[in-house]
Every structure is written in structure tokens, then in C-alpha cells.
Structure 1
């Protein structure tokens, strides 16, 4: 009885550790992809490709299926590139949370519009 309880607790801790590892890896890849897509000579699609490559090399291609990138402008007028990744939550066994992890990374675009600047 004690061994079964210990096994359930150990698997729960392992499940939590795996989910946090995948989440942190996805956040890192999304942030790097956003920085890559925010370069002056790049498009947001370049950031998407970079994010997919990083996720595939670090985890698996199944985690890189839903990656999107977009440009947006903050309320203060700053241009940013955002990369969003939605991936399945890794599960060990039938018990545990189901669903998807959704993370994003943002970076300032190098192509900022400077208004009111004079010589």
C-alpha cells in the first residue's frame, strides 16, 4: 500500500517536472523566434520558422505544429513582433491534466517609426 502511494506521488512529481520543462522550452523558443523575426531585415514568418526549428530540435515536431507570428503596435506606439506557440500538454499515463500549453514571446521590432525627430 505504501509503495503504491509512493509510486503515485513520484509519478505526479515527474509529470509536473516534464510539463514545466516543456513549457520553459516553448517559452524560450517563442522568445528567440520573436527576436529573430523582429530584425530589420526579417519578417514575422522568419520568426515562425526559427521557432519551429528550435522546438523540433529540443522536443519533437509534434510540439511545433501550431506556431504563429504577427506584428502589432502597443498603445504607446511601439512596434513588436509576437510569436505564439500552442502545443499539447505532455502526459505520462492516463492520469493527469489534459489540454494544451499556449505560450508567447515578444520582441521590439527594429523597424520603429520615429516621429518628431529632427536633424
Structure 2
């Protein structure tokens, strides 16, 4: 005689097994998205700060300040750890280089983070 199996509760077990795989995958995708967003925003802020600092009659401190304000306007200022502007020579031309260092925590909640370093360049204008 064949017994009929009771499948009551099996949907809950299937749901938990699927969640064990999907939740870490979803959180990993969110983390990658956050890191890429912060990196792209900081790269844009560094490039804008370098252009601002390289403009005629502007100094490097103006470029640093512009970079900080651009970064703080989009992502929280807590990500940005250090902004450094200096004059370098690229291909024999005086160039303003802005380096931004940041640490992006896991999902923006704290804990261990990922170090991000971006650099922006702009050729210095001369009269």
C-alpha cells in the first residue's frame, strides 16, 4: 500500500534555502554598487577640483576646497579621509594633481571598509 506524504511546511524550508543564497548575493551587489558610486563621485570631485585649482589666478588650496565641497555635496563627508593637491609635471607641462583617499564601509553601516584612492589632473593655465 502506498502512503501519501504530507508536504505541509515544505514551502517554508524551500524559502529559507533560497534566502540563504539570495540575501548574501543581493548584499554583495549593493556593496559593489556603493563602492562604485563613491569612487565615481570622488573621481569627478577630484577632476573638478583639479580644474578649479588649475584655473588662472587660483591656488592649490582652492582646488582642495572645491574637491571637498563637491564630494560632500553628493556623498557624505565621512567617506573622504584625505584630499591633497599638488603641482606636478606631466609630459613637461605643469599640471595640478588632486588625490582623494577615502574608506567605504560595508554597506555604509560601518565595520571593515574598502580603501579608495582617486586622482584628478588638469593642466595649469598660464597667462
Classify the TM-score, shorter chain. Answer: 0.7 to 0.9
* 2:41 paired residue number: 25
2:92 and 2:33 mapped to 1: Cα distance?
39
Q: Aligned-pair distance for 1:94?
A: 7.7
Q: Aligned-pair distance for 1:55?
A: 0.7
* 1:115 paired residue number: none
Identify which of 95, 99, 102 aligns with 1:84: 99
Unaligned 5+ runs, structure 1 = 113-119
Q: Please state whether the residue corresponding to 2:92 is helix, strand or coil.
A: coil
Aligned: 1:62 with 2:78: yes
Identify which of 19, 27, 48 aligns with 1:3: 19
Write out the 4+ residue segments of structure 1 that deviate beyond 4 Å after TM superposition. none
Aligned residues: 110
* 1:43 paired residue number: 59
Change (3 A) 1:99 1:48: same
Cα RMSD, aligned residues only: 1.9
Change (3 A) 1:20 1:73: same
Higher strand share: 2
* 2:125 paired residue number: 110
Unaligned 5+ runs, structure 2 = 1-16
1:56 and 1:5 mapped to 2: Cα distance?
35
* 2:12 paired residue number: none
Residue by residue over 1:50-100, the C-alpha shift from the partner in whole angstroms, topping out at 9 and shown as x without a partner, is 0000111111121233101000112x32110000000012312688x7331
In the alignment, is the contact (CA less than 8 A) between 2:102 and 2:117 conserved in 1? yes
Mark the structure with the bigger radius of gyration. Answer: 2
